[in-house]
Amino acid sequence: MGPIGVFDSGYGGLTILKEIRKALPEYDYIYLGDNARAPYGTRSFDVVYEFTLQAVRNLFERGCELVILACNTASAKALRSIQQKDLPKIDPDKRVLGVIIPTVEALAKVSKNGNIGVLGTPGTISSGTYDIEIAKFCPAFRTVSVACPMWVPLVENKEYDSPGADYFVRKYVEELFAEEPEIDTIVLGCTHYPLLLDKIEKQVAGRARVITQGALVAASLADYMERHPDMDARCSKGGSVTYLTTEHPDKFTDMAGIFMEEPVHASRIELI
């Protein structure tokens, strides 16, 4: 038995961990943020895959049987290769899940007119993963997307609440509506973006519903555990959370406390 691993390039995955813990408080969790190498959003496929695989291996070595990639960029660029190529070699019984499929599955219930807008990192948007998965699950839907390269740096540098952030929120939201004025649902396809939610909602001004991923991923994980009692039995239940970062722990502790709205203590590790 081992904890559930939750991985992100930095702090963004904490918006997912927070909701997962609310829904499933009984499990043990290890959160790993590769803060020293974040952001991933502007990195190539090969690099995101290599870094993500290192993180997954590390979490497996710490006893995790199940790892959630709480990062859209890693889910878009590395998940499929890890599931198909690496898992069978490392340990076919372990599992790695992402955040994009649970998000897309929820869209069918939310959108009325089928016009979906996706906001994400340059890596997630250029991968086309949302367009491909939405076309699979909801073939009648139309997807438009805009990359928001400045949003993760605004969050990582604690500028998400500053007046300067308004400019970049307006810029990308209006680019999306310029592409398709009839959008009725906007997906925040990056786990950092919930920190900008107030500003994004203000800019959207009721023109569309804005979807964040935390609660969707948490509900999907609860459902997964119910459908896979074998995996549930292999996940330890002590209600603990361990925080690991590849950056200096003091920096992580400060920012992660803001995300989790509770004190956080982290240890530094190296990924190789």
Which residues are known catalytic residues?
71, 190
Q: How far is the CB of 217 from ligand DGL (least distance, A)?
A: 11
**Which range of residues in 69-77, 104-112, 194-202, 248-256 is near ligand DGL by CB under 6 A?**
69-77
Neighbours of 150 (CB within 10 A): 16
- Which element (helix H / strand E) includes 223? helix 214-227
**How many separate helices (H) and strands (E) can be counted in the chain?**
14, 10
Q: b/e for 102-133, b at 16 or more Cβ within 10 A?
A: bbbbbbeeebeebbbbbbbbbbbbbbebbbeb
> Strands 209-211, 185-188: parallel, antiparallel or unpaired by DSSP?
parallel
- Which element (helix H / strand E) includes 252? helix 249-260
Does the footprint of ligand DGL cover residue 12 (CB under 6 A)?
yes
Q: Which is nearer to ligand DGL, 42 or 242 (CB)?
A: 42
Q: From residue 186 to residue 205, what is the string marking binding to ligand DGL with x (rule CB under 6 A)?
A: ----xxx-------------
Does the footprint of ligand DGL cover residue 212 (CB under 6 A)?
no
Does the footprint of ligand DGL cover residue 39 (CB under 6 A)?
yes
Nearest to 83 by CA among 13, 47, 91: 91
Beta-sheet strands, E only, within the chain? 4-8, 29-33, 66-69, 95-97, 115-120, 142-147, 185-188, 209-211, 241-245, 266-268
Does the footprint of ligand DGL cover residue 72 (CB under 6 A)?
yes
User: Using the rule CB under 6 A, which residue among 58, 73, 115, 185 binds ligand DGL?
Assistant: 73
Q: How far is the CB of 8 from ligand DGL (least distance, A)?
A: 5
Do 13 and 244 form a contact (C-beta atoms < 8 A)?
A: no
Does the footprint of ligand DGL cover residue 41 (CB under 6 A)?
yes
Q: Which is nearer to ligand DGL, 124 or 220 (CB)?
A: 124
Residue 87: CA count within 13 A, CB half-sphere? 16
Does the footprint of ligand DGL cover residue 10 (CB under 6 A)?
yes
Does the footprint of ligand DGL cover residue 40 (CB under 6 A)?
yes
Q: How far is the CB of 226 from ligand DGL (least distance, A)?
A: 26
Site for ligand DGL in 93-122 (CB under 6 A): 121
Residues that bind ligand DGL (CB under 6 A): 8-10, 12, 38-41, 71-73, 121, 124, 152, 190-192
